[in-house]
């Protein structure tokens, strides 16, 4: 088993803390898994530990199941190198010499339950940028027995993230017996060509994301705009109603305003030369925004415009539509289904969400279609959809949060397109995320000032 030089200091066992902070593609998870599997199968005393076997905790902030841990990476290393002595079950990894790997999420622990890990020899915190200050203040006083080590691996994100602040901030709180390793993807001798191509595409089309994702730089984007890649290139008069394609009725249920969008999905034949490309293009061809209206009113307007559509009509959108409408004994989706059936003489396809997706996940899905890492745009809007265009251009987060700023919803003038910004955004995020979802875990924690002693609070 060949161990890259940047990971070998762990075997020398001269530090208490090992920090691996760099971008994607550097092989840090693979390299650390190699090291731990090697240590676990050896007589640990030759590496400076007190006993021949080890108790190894593999953790992260949130881990609802072992599938969310580094378990699979460790198992792959065992199988790839044919390392004998390990007994692998669906819940654990143990070696015949007594070594045990434990998998647990920090967010599920409290001051009492974490004490059961006081005898851990090695703690590996994966995705450590997502560790909260609370979790870190519980962990560090626990993994402190003589000879124990803590390993933190992560892609740097914010300067006030707990682990970054602790070891790498302007005024690091821990500087003694700390080993810090930083690398970049092109220094990884085992880098796949696919990753190299993806990095090149991101560098060419989204240099700010490239610096963060692949170079491991902090995420310094201060813009509060949600749809930061939306431009005039996403507005096209070629986006027109196609009678030969299914029609998507995208709903968000309010009274003032009541906003729906009409979309179609087409195949982008021009992008077929791109490896693993998503050939589907999402077109927003029309908007139905009616003030002080009911679901009945919006149905009537949709039927007036598209009542002769012969292909499938697919209804998607707001999960609240399954609840009874405030102006009817029926739910909003039952109203829509009944109205379309009475006019079309066929039942529309209902594809609404069972529950609404998170804003961060669904907006990332939208961003990916607005402009992908390959520089290709797969979301387009007809120029007549003025309110939708304003939504893409004006939708913002509150500063330093992932919370949509809805203060513009106080506008009552129906001639002001800003009144519709967040309601229309709900529609297009439902549309994209329903058929091409991207899910990204984000830690959201208030910014607080921390002192070194906060992380070492004794029981």
- Residue 286 main-chain phi, psi, to 5 deg: -160, 160
Smallest CA-to-CA distance from 189 within 27, 6, 33 is with 27
Cβ atoms within 10 A of the Cβ of 172, count? Answer: 14
Q: Could you tell me if 311 and 348 are in contact, meaning their C-beta atoms sit under 8 angstroms apart?
A: no
pLDDT number for residue 209 = 86
Angle CA 48–72–152, to nearest 5: 45
Could you tell me if residue 441 is left (phi over 0), alpha (psi between -120 and 50 degrees) or otherwise beta? Answer: beta
User: What global pTM score does this model have?
Assistant: 0.67
Domains of the chain, each with CATH number or no CATH = 5-192 (3.40.50.300), 232-435 (3.30.420.280)
The predicted-structure confidence for 254-299, as pLDDT tens digits, reads as follows: 777 889 999 999 986 554 444 444 678 999 999 998 888 889 999 9
Average the pLDDT over 140-146 and give the result: 92
| The pLDDT of residue 72 is above 50 | yes
Element holding 298 (H helix, E strand): helix 295-306
* Three-class DSSP category at 293: coil
Q: How confident is the model at residue 193 (pLDDT cuts 50, 70, 90)?
A: very high
Q: What single DSSP character describes residue 6?
A: G
Q: What single DSSP character describes residue 373?
A: T
- As to burial, measured by CB atoms within 10 angstroms (0-12 exposed, 13-18 middle, 19+ buried), residue 429 is buried
* Cα 169 versus chain centre, distance: 24
Mean pLDDT of the chain: 87
Question: What are the beta bridge partners of residue 316?
Answer: 250
Half-sphere exposure of 37 (CA within 13 A, CB side): 29
| The pLDDT of residue 339 is above 90 | yes
Rounded CA gap, 105 and 65, in Å? 9
Angle CA 14–15–17, to nearest 5: 160
pLDDT number for residue 459 = 40
Rounded CA gap, 361 and 382, in Å? 25
Smallest CA-to-CA distance from 314 within 242, 363, 273, 262 is with 262
């Amino acid at each position: 088993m060949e161990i890259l030089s940047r990971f070998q200091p762990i075997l020398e066992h001269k530090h208490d803390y090992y920090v691996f902070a760099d971008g994607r593609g550097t092989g840090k998870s693979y390299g650390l898994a190699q090291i731990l599997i090697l240590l676990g199968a050896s007589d640990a005393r030759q590496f400076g530990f007190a006993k021949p076997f080890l108790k190894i905790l593999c953790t992260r902030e949130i881990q609802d199941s072992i599938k969310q841990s580094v378990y699979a990476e460790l198992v792959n290393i065992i199988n790839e190198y044919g390392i004998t002595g390990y007994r692998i079950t669906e819940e654990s990894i143990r070696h015949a010499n007594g070594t045990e790997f434990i998998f647990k999420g920090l967010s599920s622990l409290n001051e009492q339950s974490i004490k059961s890990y006081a005898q851990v020899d090695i703690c590996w915190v994966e995705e450590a940028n997502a560790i909260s200050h609370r979790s870190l203040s519980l962990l560090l006083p626990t993994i402190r027995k003589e000879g124990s080590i803590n390993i933190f691996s992560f892609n740097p994100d914010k300067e006030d993230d707990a682990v970054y602040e602790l070891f790498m901030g302007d005024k690091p709180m821990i500087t003694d017996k700390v080993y810090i390793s930083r690398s970049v993807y092109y220094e990884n001798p085992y880098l796949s060509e696919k990753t190299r191509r993806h990095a090149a595409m991101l560098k060419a089309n989204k240099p700010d994301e490239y610096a963060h994702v692949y170079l491991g730089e902090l995420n310094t984007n201060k813009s509060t705009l949600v749809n930061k890649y939306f431009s005039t290139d996403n507005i096209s008069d070629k986006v027109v109603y196609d009678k030969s394609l299914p029609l998507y009725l995208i709903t968000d249920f309010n009274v003032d305003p009541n906003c729906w969008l009409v979309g179609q999905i087409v195949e982008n034949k021009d992008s077929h030369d791109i490896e693993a490309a998503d050939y589907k293009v999402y077109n927003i061809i029309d908007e139905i925004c009616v003030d002080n209206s009911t679901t009945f009113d919006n149905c009537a307007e949709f039927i007036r415009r598209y009542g002769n559509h012969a292909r499938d009509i697919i209804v998607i959108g707001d999960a609240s539509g399954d609840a009874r409408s405030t102006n009817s004994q029926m739910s909003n989706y039952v109203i829509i289904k009944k109205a379309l059936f009475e006019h079309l003489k066929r039942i529309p396809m209902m594809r609404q969400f069972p529950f609404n997706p998170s804003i961060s996940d669904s907006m990332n899905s939208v961003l990916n279609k607005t402009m992908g890492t390959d520089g290709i745009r797969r979301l387009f809007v007809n120029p007549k959809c003025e309110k939708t265009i304003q939504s893409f251009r004006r939708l913002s987060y509150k500063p330093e949060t992932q919370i949509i700023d809805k203060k513009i919803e106080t506008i009552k003038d129906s001639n002001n397109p800003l009144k519709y910004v967040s309601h229309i955004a709900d529609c297009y995020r439902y549309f994209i995320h329903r058929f091409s979802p991207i899910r990204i875990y984000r830690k959201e924690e208030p910014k607080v000032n921390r002192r070194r002693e906060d992380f070492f609070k004794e029981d």
